Structure 1
Amino acid sequence: MSTTLLEPEVDDLRKKAKRSRRNEWWLAAVLLAPNLLLLALFTYRPLLDNFRLSFFSWNISSPTSTFIGLDNYIEFFTRADTAQVVLNTVVFTFFAVAGSMFFGLALAMLLDQKLRGRNFVRSMVFAPFVISGAAVGVAFQFVFDPNFGLVQDLLGRLGVDTPNFYQDPNWAMFMVTFTFIWKNLGYSFVIYLAALQGLNRDLAEAAAVDGASAWTRFWRVTLPQLRPTTFFLSITVLLSSVQVFDIIHTMTRGGPLGNGTTTLVYQVYTETFTNYRAGYGATVSTILFLTLLIITAIQVRYMDRGARK
């Protein structure tokens, strides 16, 4: 008898729950719709259009294009300069990511201590990150100028000859990589600093009581706790460094000696807007996008697997 009396109430509760879930879905759809629409129009549509364009030969000054199938992709993998451009991209990205994260962590650990004036120094470290890359590139042109730059003056005082940063491809790559690290160091620094301030201090104190050295505490206690932050930075700094254009354009124009500092992103620009080969530029950008997608997916998968452990 009591079960029969409760059935209408149960049905009523079920209807209310369904109605509540439906209202939540509608609210989510209304709130997400503008963002999804903007993503579709300004991210996914250009991405698909770029992929389509990679199968065409198109001079951006011409209203017509010619379908050529896989010819652009075949050209990319058989061109003589592709290996050099890919190598430039890998070298620049590796040292830019490693340098930004290493020095960012070192500065974060230093400025996480109770030091006089540390807030001012923190601001100075972060300040270059908000400056335009083009402006930083122009400023560092004078820093590395072999005739009257700051580097030339410092090396001259030490009795060391100044390398010709604008004629030697290796030194030119060092120059643009150093400039990128200097500009973007503040980003890694701030992220690591926030992570350090959220660590469990009890573990480090317990290790110190047990007689662990400072290096052991860092390697065995601090660094493992920073693993999620390190993975996050490895992805974001990687994507940022691969896409760098302004610093290279203002400092070296992709040279010296042809492709001395030309990366894949800079090749997209030169092929599209200098050589007027938008189809081939779309091919290079498509290959770069797929490569970054695979690398990011591997990083995220590895991070998830590490988090489960």
Structure 2
Amino acid sequence: MIHAQNHAQQGKTMQKIVFLDRETLAPQIRLKRPAFEHELIEFDRTTPDEVVTRLAGASIAITNKVAITAEALDRLPELKLIAVAATGTDCIDKSACEQRGIVVSNIRGYAVNTVPEHTFALMLALRRNLVAYRDDVLEGEWQKAGQFCFFNHPIRDLGGATLGIIGEGVLGQRVAEIARVFGMRPLFAAHKGREGLGPLYTPWDDVLATSDVITIHSPLTPNTRGMLSTAEFRAMKKKPLIINTARGGLVDEAALVEALDEGWISGAGFDVLSTEPPAPGNPLMRVAGRPNVIVTPHVAWASDEAQQTLADQLIDNIAAFVAGAPVNVVR
């Protein structure tokens, strides 16, 4: 636990700020101190049964992934702001916050480079079979080839491929921009089960049927949970790669493994899982050692540059709230 105080503005109301999971930011990332009078307490991590005790008396809570439930809020009458140190806010009971007049803010725009770059790192590695070829070299296959190269695995260009993008926000738009530079044809999928959303969108079923790669950049909501499952994988006529750097719950993981086993898709690059770290028996971990599967530990967002931008915006959000002009408020 780290405890710090700032008495720069004597006479002002002291704000007690508690960061429940400071360890979710890398240790080299600086967390600037607000200019207003405050007490800042940082915990590396917090379990569900510690939330109420640690937030007791706090006016501002900072959390990245620690859930704050309606039951917890009932016991935290002094809480006025929950500053989420991420874009996704599914760990917060937002309806309960609205009922109690608690403001919820989040971080925006910080991942415009890091997540798309990670997306393309996974895409390139899988399309070009880099994992398989690296394994071959380590196992001596190149040495036994008898010539300067060998062709144990197919290699596919991104140029000319169709990229289905699920999610048309800042990250989806940036992915499309990069895709065009590679010579890909990006298609934004219309929301599942909806039509008539305008010229930006390609019908959902058409994206599933025509894409060589499908990448997900959607928030996790009750409507998007499990949006890709057995029926969707079976409809993917071109056996695409599936890339997910958004939220694990968007994809039915058991169905994904079935799709890999049945050859309905050609590979998967996932930075997110339904439970993190992986729960025992997570089906995707059973196939994570295959050369056409890459699982990374939820780090697509985590370049040093992006994390510092996030940390700075986090404190700016808090300062704006204390000044009476909250920003990045989640409705």
Asked if Structure 1 and Structure 2 have the same fold, meaning a TM-score greater than 0.5 normalized by the shorter chain, the answer is no
Q: TM-score range by the shorter chain?
A: under 0.3
More strand by share: 2
* TM-score for the superposition, normalised by structure 1: 0.27
* TM-score for the superposition, normalised by structure 2: 0.25
Rg larger in structure: 1
